[in-house]
Structure 1
Amino acid sequence: MRYVIIGGDAAGMSAAMQIVRHEENAEIITLERGEIYSYAQCGLPYVIGGLISSTTDLIARDVETFRHKYRIDARTKHEVTSVDLKNQTVSGHHFSLSYDKLLVATGASPIVPSWPGSDLRGIHTVKTIPDTEQLIADAKEKKHITIIGGGYIGLELAENFVKIGKEVTIIEQAPQLATIFDEDMANMIQEEAEKNEIKVRLNETVEGFAGNERVERVITDQASIRTDLVVVAIGVTPNTSFLSNSNLHFHHNGAISVNRFMETNVENVYAAGDCATQYHRIKKKNDYIPLGTHANKQGRLAGKAMVGQPSPFQGIVGTSIIKFFSLTLGRTGLSSRELEEISYPYDQMTTEIGHIAGYYPGAERLTVRLCYHRDTNQLLGGQIIGRAGVDKRIDVLSTALYNEMKVDELEHLDLAYAPPYNGVWDPIQQTARRR
């Protein structure tokens, strides 16, 4: 049995390892358009800030390990440009391969609109190790960095550039930073940015760039902004354009639609990771939230399904977390904005409360918001921002959402208590009791 996997990172290699473990004589060919396998993309901003000393620290397993230890035919510089689903072949500029089973795990690429001047030197994205190494080299002698996009990647990049002494401006088209949070919650994020001398420009649309060979200004609908370097971080798009003429089914944004076994609508073809959809347990439908946690899980399950040991993907609830200077920003489930968009009847509660026992030294304030169904009391989402204790609580809420708990049931959870770690009533329990 020949297994061909397109993509050599999280989803692709998680699948490949499952095939190795479950089918002794499998022929596994992985095709990676770059030169680096299995690296931690989420760590890239921290290499820029110097917290992680080298991009090589982010590589989980190198190509030679896959080849020699695990018997995987791991190929580099092999970009697939077409797939013949009827005849079960994949092709590139210098190769063509047949497959018995195919996994598409091509990930996603940063979105860079065709703005005038976008071909000028000094305009970067951050998605791969080469991207990051080029950015670090280019930024070394530069003073002012402009980041387009105020989402997670933009915020992480902003913090790390500030840490190495750069002047940073963030341009965001929306009326707030971090649009996955409610606007009033996002105000705390903006305050933290400005406290660290980041210039935040909201409700502003980029129209292009100006400069002589190298970018010197960002042109928006409101101003011409002087800069030495630009990073575009406005989101990603699934790497599926090479499949556009196939009869695969796609999500509205181009992600490949898959079922819970990572199967597509075409026999013997699977997809996983940032190029595929994820089932959302609260929305009860496929969604697209590309994160490394999902890619690893989906890849693992795709590999098991390909060798005849199917186990269903249980879905996501939309959990994420980010460090931004002294704040931790955590969210899970649906925000009030998302609930309004899908016309859910909901109510919400918000509290400001200490993360540990109030009498114990070092207590920090948490802002906790819970959203719940107005009629059934089912928990629908949570947002927590604070300086300590966010990660503990957001994971409790994520677990509650996974198990479809009602908001009043949170009070009955047996959560760990000792003064250095919590009060007798956890902040999420105290918030739930406000209902």
Structure 2
Amino acid sequence: MKYIIIGGDAAGMSAAMQIVRANQDHDITVLERGEIYSYGQCGLPYAISGIVDEPEDVIAREVETFRNKYGIDAKINHEVTHVDSANKEVHGRVTSTGESFKFEYDKLLIASGASPVMPDWKGVDLGGVFHIKTIPDTKDILNYLDKDIQNVTIVGGGFVGLEMAENFGEIGKNVTIIQRGQQLMKPFDYDMAELIHKEANHQNVNIIFGESVKSFAGKHSVEKVITDQNEYPTDLVLLSIGINPNTQFVGDEFSIGEKNELIVDEYMKTNVKDVFAAGDCASQYHRIKEQNDYVPLGTHANKQGMVAGQNLLGKSVEFRGIVGTSILKFFDLDIGRTGLSEKEAQELSLDYDTVKITTRPVAGYYSDIEELTVKLVYEKTTKRLLGGQVIGNKGVDKRIDVLATALYHNMTTVQLLDLDLSYAPPFNGVWDPIQQAAKRTL
């Protein structure tokens, strides 16, 4: 059996290792357009501040390990340009030499990931304008910071934008975030996002709302950001305005979603025979929305890759879907969410209600320093939990993971009260904050 995998990162190599472990006599070729395999992209912002010593520290396995230890034909600089599903061939070019290549497959996994959105704004090619997705991207930023860089402008206030704001701030840079909308972190409801805005102000991060970047200006390097309303001096720009799935090389026979992701079923199969997809280029089934969604995260990529690998072997293993869980550190705040926001419940025309409380993550007499704000979204009549958002100084991860587990098992807010959650004064009150919120839904 000849397996071809497009993409040598989380999903692709998770799948490859499933095949390796199940069958010593395997024929796996991985086509990676870059030169680095299996690295943790989510750790790259922390290389900017030095929390992660070197960008290469996020590499899980070197390409030579896959070749020499596991017998995988792990190629680099191999960019796929076309999938010929009729003849079961993959075509492309070697970016380092310009040579073309063609590989035949029995089964194909597309795990090509996603790329940062690069707008066509004037001046986007100036020195000092960056995005961050790969280890080379990170190195380029670090090298540029060796210059006299004081003012950093981040375009986009999502997950990566906030992480980069924190890490630039940690090394003493003046940070400005330009956000086209009226709040940071769009996946959160506005009343929760206000807590993030407050923390940004507390950390001297300048936020500009309601302006759209139009261009950049400078002689050779960026010196100015120009929006539809103002001009702002800057020494460095970080673009964080989203990603696009790398699916431009597939043909019209493939089912593609609204965000250009490959639509897959629970077995990671596309609609094309013997072609699977996983990771940031593929859809994920959302258990609460009960429909396909696109939530590109490393956790999903690794799980989908593992499932895809087993199904490439002929098994029938299901990817059980997601509930939309994510978490972020932003200076002294931890910011987590799972399930549906109030905005999403409205969009789905659900009969919902919400409750929000601010309390302590530990026993009040133990510490009165930390705060925790919990917002629950639930169905009015059945009390079925639909989602939760938690923001605070301590214990956010614990509460979000409990809520994510409850969502997976279709629990109600009433059933949250029955959970036997850990308690000791340094960790919790006798009623956990999510249970305190659940009480108010009765």
Q: TM-score, normalised by structure 1?
A: 0.99
Counterpart of 2:3 in structure 1 is 3
In the TM superposition, 1:225-244 aligns within 5 A as: 225-243=232-250
Question: How far apart in 1 are the matches of 2:368 and 2:86?
Answer: 64
Counterpart of 2:408 in structure 1 is 402
CA deviation profile, 1:400-419 (whole Å, cap 9, x unmatched): 00000011110010111111
- Aligned-residue offset at 1:139: 2.0
Task: Report SS of the residue matched to 1:412.
Answer: coil
Q: Which amino acid aligns with 2:313?
A: V
Q: Is the 8 A contact 1:331 1:382 kept in 2?
A: yes
Task: Report SS of the residue matched to 1:136.
Answer: helix
Question: How far apart in 2 are the matches of 1:13 and 1:310?
Answer: 19
Alignment partner of 1:356 is 2:356: no
Q: Is the 8 A contact 2:89 2:105 kept in 1?
A: yes
Task: Report SS of the residue matched to 2:161.
Answer: helix
Counterpart of 2:20 in structure 1 is 20
- Aligned-residue offset at 1:374: 1.4
Counterpart of 2:97 in structure 1 is none
Q: Is the 8 A contact 2:360 2:368 kept in 1?
A: no
- Aligned-residue offset at 1:308: 1.2
Task: Report SS of the residue matched to 1:416.
Answer: coil
Which ranges of structure 2 fall in alignment gaps of 5 or more residues? 94-99
Match of 1:379 among 363, 385, 404: 385
CA deviation profile, 1:301-356 (whole Å, cap 9, x unmatched): 00000001221000000000001001000100011111111211110000011101
Runs of 4+ in 1 over 4 A off after TM superposition: none
For these two proteins, the number of residue pairs brought into alignment is 434
Alignment partner of 1:98 is 2:78: no
Q: What percentage of aligned pairs have identical amino acids?
A: 56
Counterpart of 2:39 in structure 1 is 39
Question: How far apart in 1 are the matches of 2:311 and 2:214?
Answer: 46
Task: Report SS of the residue matched to 1:352.
Answer: strand
Q: Is the 8 A contact 1:15 1:303 kept in 2?
A: yes
- Aligned-residue offset at 1:290: 0.2
Counterpart of 1:69 in structure 2 is 69
In the TM superposition, 1:135-146 aligns within 5 A as: 135-141=141-147, 142-146=149-153
Question: How far apart in 1 are the matches of 2:208 and 2:374?
Answer: 27
Q: Is the 8 A contact 1:85 1:246 kept in 2?
A: no
Counterpart of 1:246 in structure 2 is 252
Q: Which amino acid aligns with 2:175?
A: V
Task: Report SS of the residue matched to 1:171.
Answer: strand
- Aligned-residue offset at 1:363: 5.2
Q: Is the 8 A contact 1:171 1:200 kept in 2?
A: yes
Question: How far apart in 2 are the matches of 1:431 and 1:362?
Answer: 19
Q: Which amino acid aligns with 1:82?
A: H
Q: TM-score, normalised by structure 2?
A: 0.97
- Aligned-residue offset at 1:23: 2.0
Q: Is the 8 A contact 1:255 1:275 kept in 2?
A: yes
CA deviation profile, 1:285-314 (whole Å, cap 9, x unmatched): 110000000000000000000001221000
Alignment partner of 1:187 is 2:187: no
Task: Report SS of the residue matched to 1:225.
Answer: strand
Match of 1:338 among 340, 344, 347: 344
Counterpart of 1:119 in structure 2 is 125
Q: Is the 8 A contact 1:255 1:288 kept in 2?
A: yes
Task: Report SS of the residue matched to 2:337.
Answer: strand
Question: How far apart in 2 are the matches of 1:279 and 1:322?
Answer: 22
Task: Report SS of the residue matched to 2:66.
Answer: helix
Counterpart of 1:422 in structure 2 is 428
Q: Is the 8 A contact 1:357 1:363 kept in 2?
A: no
Question: How far apart in 2 are the matches of 1:148 and 1:363?
Answer: 33
Q: Which amino acid aligns with 1:146?
A: T
Name the stretch that deviates more: 270-279 or 336-345. Answer: 336-345
Counterpart of 1:307 in structure 2 is 313
Match of 1:149 among 156, 160, 183: 156
Question: How far apart in 1 are the matches of 2:222 and 2:348?
Answer: 41
Q: Which amino acid aligns with 2:70?
A: Y
Counterpart of 1:129 in structure 2 is 135
Counterpart of 2:169 in structure 1 is 162
Q: Which amino acid aligns with 2:245?
A: P
Q: Is the 8 A contact 2:31 2:80 kept in 1?
A: yes
Counterpart of 1:258 in structure 2 is 264
- Aligned-residue offset at 1:165: 1.0
CA deviation profile, 1:348-386 (whole Å, cap 9, x unmatched): 000011101111136521000000011221100000000
Q: Is the 8 A contact 1:355 1:363 kept in 2?
A: no
Counterpart of 1:297 in structure 2 is 303
Counterpart of 2:96 in structure 1 is none
Question: How far apart in 1 are the matches of 2:158 and 2:291?
Answer: 24
Counterpart of 1:51 in structure 2 is 51
Task: Report SS of the residue matched to 1:102.
Answer: strand
Which ranges of structure 1 fall in alignment gaps of 5 or more residues? none
CA deviation profile, 1:207-241 (whole Å, cap 9, x unmatched): 11111122111110110111111110011110011
Task: Report SS of the residue matched to 1:242.
Answer: coil
Question: How far apart in 2 are the matches of 1:219 and 1:258?
Answer: 41
Question: How far apart in 1 are the matches of 2:81 and 2:144?
Answer: 31
Q: Is the 8 A contact 2:152 2:176 kept in 1?
A: yes
Q: Is the 8 A contact 1:6 1:80 kept in 2?
A: yes
- Aligned-residue offset at 1:55: 1.2
Q: Which amino acid aligns with 2:154?
A: I
- Aligned-residue offset at 1:197: 1.0
Q: Is the 8 A contact 1:356 1:363 kept in 2?
A: no
